[in-house]
Amino acid sequence: MSNNKTHFGYKTIDESEKAKKVAEVFHSVAKNYDIMNDVMSGGLHRAWKHFTINTAHLKKGDKVLDIAGGTGDLSRGWAKRVGDKGEVWLTDINSSMLSVGRDRLLNEGVILPVSLADAEKLPFPSNYFNLVSVAFGLRNMTHKEAALKEMYRVLKPGGTLLVLEFSKVFKPLAPAYDLYSFKLLPLMGKMIAKDADSYQYLAESIRMHPDQETLKQMMLDAGFDSVDYYNLTAGVVALHKGVKY
């Protein structure tokens, strides 16, 4: 068992415990995940994902891997872009989230392969995908550097990685954002999802996630080139983009 330490929100725990604790959070929130996203972001998460989809330069027949794809918002968008001859994999490490996403897409008539997959050990061949995406999942991974290297591995040369994640808000807005995150967010989690603790963790995990420039450097260190990012909603969220040459 590993004696290395990592963060679970603001707590310091053994690395070996993190995956289990994160899993408990997402098993708990899965059924209410979509409605909580709408409430928490005022619907803005849809605009952030729409921007992400429009940033990708996909063509019919391309292959896409959606990591930590959860309830399938990005996978649905990718499937429309690549068409019937394309290939989109919806993956998540959490079986509850993956089941909700799979069933939701099936109900909409979107049929695509799904896989219960750990981003740090992806079950896909090297140089396979034209695009890899991860939205609001990277911050929950224990070894982010390992996950980024795996994303690099499975991309074809010329392929693109898109990372949509909560980031560091512009400084003048930080006090108001903190008030919202640590007072209102757990309260909404308690009232709507009957789970204040999970949303307390999610707020803390956002603060512990690397800022825009740090994540950019991590992507460069993983092998990506032409790494850049777009701040969305005053830096509440950032979309990082990197290319494998």
Binding residues for S-adenosyl-L-methionine are 71, 92, 118-119
Report d(CA 23, CA 21) in Å as an integer. Answer: 5
Single-letter amino acid code for the residue at 227: V
Q: Which two tokens stand for residue 26?
A: 């997402």
Report d(CA 22, CA 221) in Å as an integer. Answer: 26
Going by the annotation, the residues of the binding site are 71, 92, 118-119
Report d(CA 164, CA 137) in Å as an integer. Answer: 8
Q: What is the dihedral of CA 127, 209, 230, 100, to 10 degrees?
A: 70
- Residue 157, SS3? strand
Write the DSSP string, 143-208.
-HHHHHHHHHHHEEEEEEEEEEEE-PPPGGGHHHHHHIIIIIHHHHHHHHSS-HHHHHHHHHHHHH
